Structure 1
Amino acid sequence: MTLLIVYLFLALGISFLCSILEAVLLSVPPSYLENRAQQGSRLAEQLREIKKNISSPLAAILSLNTIAHTIGAAGVGAQATLVFGEAWFGIISAILTLLILVVSEIIPKTIGASWNRQLSIPLVPVIRFIIFVMYPLVWLSNLVTSLITSGKHTVTLSRDEMAAMANIGKKEGVLGEDESKTIYNLLRLRNIPVSSIMTPRTVLISLPENMQLREFLQKLNDIPVSRILLWKNEPDNITGYFLKSEALEALARDQHHKKLLDLKRELMIVYEGLPVMNLHQKMLAARDHIALVVDEYGGVAGVVTLEDIFETMTGMEILDETDVHTDLQQLARELWKKRNPPVRE
């Protein structure tokens, strides 16, 4: 009877532990281990390295689990026959199967998956010990696995999965709606062309570069933007831009005769198909707030600002400190309609 109990606990106990280890190993998020490792946890670093070659710990755990099941089931069956007789063999086998299913599979794997963060760090030494003990089988498993995978690298987390995680974080209350939206938009930036966020050429606000400040002062109320484009000879020949604040400072110094050309700044030029992410990096590197967008033929397609990029990231309208309208692109379209009223039949 004693051997029967020993074999039973051997089969269920070791299998219970192996099932918890397997569930924890497969369900603990890499992001959690990365965070704990950055906080200085050496065990988290070790588990992170173990998960990089997941076949080794899985081979060790599953091999030990299979051995425990096999020896335990054989031992329980043999001892049950001696103690209760062959007539009870079928019943004992059915009970053992049910116990293995519930006690060593369903319950421990549920515990491991539900408490993976809490259990992962304390169980690292156990996982390493099992890998060491089962090393011959682990080596054989790695050999077979390498032949199957042929050294292919598996991506742990794709961009689509990160976007889905942001949405899940919002639903579970971990992230706010604005935070989730910002993360989602950031992941889309490299797929969005500049042409999708720019202010089109037909609604741009621009002035001739030879205009004097006294003339500009008369138009001041009709110009709601803080960075104004300059053109030479014709409106499509954009040569640069100037800051409205600098023009007002010059007017305050009674420099009414001064031309806008004297306030002109260089304007970055970008292709309309450039991804927004690349544009963001270029503008930050150059410390520019505005860029002229050109089409494939070099013609003016529109203008894009750093505010447009941030609005795309956050999904919110961002205003310059001197802007007075909420949607400058919409305002520009309204001004264009005023300048070009529809023809009545």
Structure 2
Amino acid sequence: MTLLFIYLAIAIGVSFLCSIVESVLLSLNMSHINVIKKDNEVVGKLLEKLKLNMNESIASILILNTIAHTLGAAGIGAEASRLFGIEYMFYISAVLTLMILFFSEIIPKTIGAQYYKELAHVSGYIIKVFIFITYPLIKISLFVTKIISKKSSNIGITREELLETALLVEDGGHIDEKESDVIENVLSLSKNKIKEILTPRSVIFALEENTKISDILKTEGVMKFSRIPIYKGTIDNIIGVVFSKKIFRLAIEDRMANIEDLILPIFSINENIPISYALDMFIKRKEHMFVVTDSYGQTEGILTLEDCIETLLGLEIMDELDTTEDMRKLAKDKMKMKQKEQNNANDNNI
């Protein structure tokens, strides 16, 4: 009877250990391994090696698990038939199957998946021992696998998978909704175009190049903008930008002067370029405002660094001088109002 329990303990014990470390290894991701490396570089590098050589790690676990099941079942069967007789083998096999199912599969794998972070350190060393014990069999297994299987071409993680991961982490309570939104916005920067976030030409506050300082000071709304586009002739020919603080400084010195000497160059970009590219240009050129043009060179609007940051964060940044939260909505409202006035004028003419 003692020998029967020894066989049972070995079979279920080894299988329990194999299942739990397998579940831990499969549950670990590279981001958590990098966190472990910061606290314990030795353990972190070991886990990283095991994760990168997943085929070798899993092969060692499966080989040892299979040996434990096979030898354990054979030993238990032989000892049980000797003690209880061949007529009870069906019942013994049924009980053994249930015990293996629960104690070497369901329970350990559930524990490993639930507590993989806590068990990661010790699991790494256990798998290392497994690999050492089964190394010759691993090499044979990997050689056979290499012959009958093709190398996977689907390497890496896609944008969609990253987004789904962020949503799952948010649902799990590890990050909040705003953090998840930022991740989603970052992943969308390269496919969304700047024409979706620019300030439309109909609501651009701009000045003609020959405008006198005294006239600018009388213009309503000039105080609300730190940078003002300057055009020559029409809004389709924006030639530069002026800092409003320099206008006020010049006003103190000479109210009759023009703003020509204050004009700084402004770069133009096409409306169809991705937001990520525009953000990169802002950083590289150390600029805060671009003119956005269509394929024919006509002005579609202006884009600011603030527009890109707002898109990234998913919110409207307003200071004490801002009176309108969404300039694109304001442009649409103005267009509707203008169309309504034209319709009323046509009705009156009739």
TM-score normalised by the chain length of structure 2: 0.91
> CA contact under 8 A between 1:205 and 1:223: conserved in structure 2?
no
2:281 & 2:131 partners in 1: Cα distance?
A: 49
Q: State the 1:216 CA deviation.
A: 0.8
Amino acid aligned to 2:150: T
> CA contact under 8 A between 1:231 and 1:240: conserved in structure 2?
yes
1:154 equivalenced with 2:155 (yes/no): yes
Q: State the 1:244 CA deviation.
A: 1.6
SS in 2 for 1:168: helix
- Where does residue 81 of structure 1 map in the other structure? 81
Q: State the 1:295 CA deviation.
A: 1.7
- The verdict on how the C-alpha distance between 1:110 and 1:104 changes in structure 2, with shifts beyond 3 A counting, is same
Moved more, 287-296 or 108-117: 287-296
> CA contact under 8 A between 1:224 and 1:325: conserved in structure 2?
no
- The verdict on how the C-alpha distance between 1:341 and 1:138 changes in structure 2, with shifts beyond 3 A counting, is same
> CA contact under 8 A between 1:226 and 1:323: conserved in structure 2?
no
Q: State the 1:177 CA deviation.
A: 2.3
Question: What percentage of residue pairs aligned between the two structures are identical?
Answer: 36
Amino acid aligned to 2:229: L
Q: State the 1:76 CA deviation.
A: 0.6
1:197 & 1:151 partners in 2: Cα distance?
A: 40
- Where does residue 273 of structure 2 map in the other structure? 274
2:329 & 2:222 partners in 1: Cα distance?
A: 14
Q: State the 1:340 CA deviation.
A: 8.0
SS in 2 for 1:297: coil
- The verdict on how the C-alpha distance between 1:109 and 1:50 changes in structure 2, with shifts beyond 3 A counting, is same
Amino acid aligned to 1:264: I
> CA contact under 8 A between 1:15 and 1:65: conserved in structure 2?
yes
1:304 & 1:123 partners in 2: Cα distance?
A: 53
Amino acid aligned to 1:39: D
Q: State the 1:321 CA deviation.
A: 6.4
Moved more, 203-212 or 101-110: 203-212
Amino acid aligned to 1:270: I
- Where does residue 311 of structure 1 map in the other structure? 310
- The verdict on how the C-alpha distance between 1:326 and 1:151 changes in structure 2, with shifts beyond 3 A counting, is closer
1:336 & 1:210 partners in 2: Cα distance?
A: 28
- Where does residue 10 of structure 1 map in the other structure? 10
SS in 2 for 1:122: helix
Q: State the 1:339 CA deviation.
A: 7.8
- The verdict on how the C-alpha distance between 1:330 and 1:250 changes in structure 2, with shifts beyond 3 A counting, is farther
- Where does residue 191 of structure 2 map in the other structure? 191
- Where does residue 92 of structure 1 map in the other structure? 92
Structure 1, unmatched stretches of 5+, are none
- Where does residue 180 of structure 2 map in the other structure? 180
When the two chains are superposed, the root-mean-square deviation of aligned CA atoms in Å is 2.2
Deviations 1:97-140 (A, max 9, x none): 11111111111111111101100112211101111111122212
TM-score normalised by the chain length of structure 1: 0.92
SS in 2 for 1:235: strand
1:295 & 1:340 partners in 2: Cα distance?
A: 23
Structure 2, unmatched stretches of 5+, are none
> CA contact under 8 A between 2:4 and 2:75: conserved in structure 1?
yes
Amino acid aligned to 2:60: A
- Where does residue 117 of structure 2 map in the other structure? 117
- Where does residue 138 of structure 1 map in the other structure? 138
2:15 & 2:195 partners in 1: Cα distance?
A: 59
> CA contact under 8 A between 2:203 and 2:327: conserved in structure 1?
no
Q: State the 1:320 CA deviation.
A: 5.3
1:337 & 1:95 partners in 2: Cα distance?
A: 78
- Where does residue 211 of structure 1 map in the other structure? 211
Amino acid aligned to 2:102: V
Task: Count matched residues.
Answer: 343
SS in 1 for 2:290: strand
Amino acid aligned to 1:102: F
> CA contact under 8 A between 2:50 and 2:124: conserved in structure 1?
no
